[in-house]
């Protein structure tokens, strides 16, 4: 029998995370390899100029170059850079010593998508704190399951008939009824993953950088929300997609659109594939964020009021956007399964 869609979604979500990490691992080590090669060439050039060549045969010259071909100069420069960062503690991981299975496995478990040689590290693993996080995760997961079964699922089932007949008033009523429990489940889900789960991974790996989100709930624009609510993904897209596009000469507006298109593809895949039905609601919903960014910026400038901008954000996301998306997905999947 086919596995549950929620389990499929979790497996697919984790596969995407691993894929993003491998891309970052490859890009970072490629840059380190290029820098290492340039530093080595400069070191060899300076050494060859300082060593007199008169009286040396070809084998002697080769011996001089081999002796000068050491990673010491490159690592010394990295050591100097790492020493200036207050949050990093020696001994430092260096290139190419970082190219090991242990280093890769640590990065796979660490709560970050962007690879680098060294991260801030905590002193030790706090056992009581780990147990406390696990207890909270279980409690929040139970709250989410209760709310879905008790409030969200019955509302979605009652929305099928109005969706069939396109009864706008009834759909609006179901939309508003769904918005409150959906907001609670969404907030609990955010707290479960970004605060509890990522801090759990950070604690067991002694990962020191634990800023996984900022105050997105105070966002006055959609742009501010996407910059602050999911820092691991935002940092990955900025580092491995947005800035490379700008370096290639891509206009800033087009680069933003391509970043949202990239995110839209994976939103659609993670949501639709577990149900074996592609509807493109998440894809176009993500693309719609681009004009909404300009709209919310216009509203923010027009009223210059934090309440107006923040209320617009919450209404677009929690009262209209997410509930409507859930109703449309539920109806499409129900209709697809009914035909099958």
Cβ distance 218 to 311 under 8 Å? no
Alpha-carbon distance of 112 to 194, in angstroms, equals 11
Helix ranges, 110-230 (H): 127-147, 153-158, 160-165, 168-190, 198-204, 222-228
* Residues counted in the chain: 340
Active-site position among 27, 195, 267, 277: 267
- Show the tokens assigned to 86: 């207050």
Alpha-carbon distance of 63 to 67, in angstroms, equals 6
Contacts of residues 15-21 at CB distance under 8 Å and 24 or more positions apart, as own/partner, are: 16/266, 16/269, 16/270, 17/113, 18/108, 20/113, 20/233, 20/236, 21/107, 21/108, 21/113, 21/115
Alpha-carbon distance of 188 to 9, in angstroms, equals 18
> Could you confirm whether 267 is annotated as catalytic?
yes
Cβ distance 270 to 9 under 8 Å? yes
Residues forming the active site: 267
């Amino acid at each position: 029998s086919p596995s549950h869609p929620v389990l499929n979604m979790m497996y697919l979500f984790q596969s995407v995370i691993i894929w993003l990490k491998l891309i970052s691992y490859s890009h970072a080590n490629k840059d380190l390899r290029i820098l290492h090669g340039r530093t080595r060439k400069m070191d060899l050039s300076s050494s060859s100029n300082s060593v007199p060549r008169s009286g040396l045969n070809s084998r002697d010259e080769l011996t001089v170059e081999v002796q000068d071909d050491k990673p010491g100069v490159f690592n010394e420069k990295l050591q100097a850079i790492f020493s200036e960062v207050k949050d990093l503690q020696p001994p430092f991981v260096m290139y190419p010593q970082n190219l090991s299975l242990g280093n890769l496995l640590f990065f796979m478990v660490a709560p970050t998508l962007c690879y680098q040689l060294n991260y801030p590290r905590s002193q030790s693993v706090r056992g009581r704190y780990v147990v406390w996080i696990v207890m909270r995760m279980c409690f929040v997961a139970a709250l989410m399951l209760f709310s879905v079964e008790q409030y969200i699922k019955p509302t979605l089932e009652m929305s099928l008939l109005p969706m069939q007949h396109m009864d706008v008033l009834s759909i609006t009523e179901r939309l508003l009824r769904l918005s409150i429990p959906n907001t609670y489940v969404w907030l609990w889900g955010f707290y479960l993953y970004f605060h509890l789960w990522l801090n759990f991974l950070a604690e067991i790996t002694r990962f020191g950088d634990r800023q996984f989100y900022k105050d997105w709930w105070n966002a006055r624009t959609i742009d501010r929300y996407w910059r602050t609510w999911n820092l691991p993904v935002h940092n990955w897209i900025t580092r491995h997609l947005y800035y490379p596009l700008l370096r290639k000469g891509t206009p800033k507006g087009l680069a933003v659109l391509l970043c949202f298109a990239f995110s839209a593809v994976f939103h659609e895949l993670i949501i639709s594939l577990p149900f074996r039905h592609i509807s493109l609601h998440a894809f176009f919903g993500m693309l719609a964020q681009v004009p909404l960014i300009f709209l919310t910026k216009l509203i923010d400038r027009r009223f210059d009021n934090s309440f107006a901008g923040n209320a617009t954000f919450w209404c677009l996301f929690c009262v209209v956007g997410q509930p409507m998306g859930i109703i449309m997905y539920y109806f499409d999947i129900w209709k697809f399964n009914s035909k099958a």
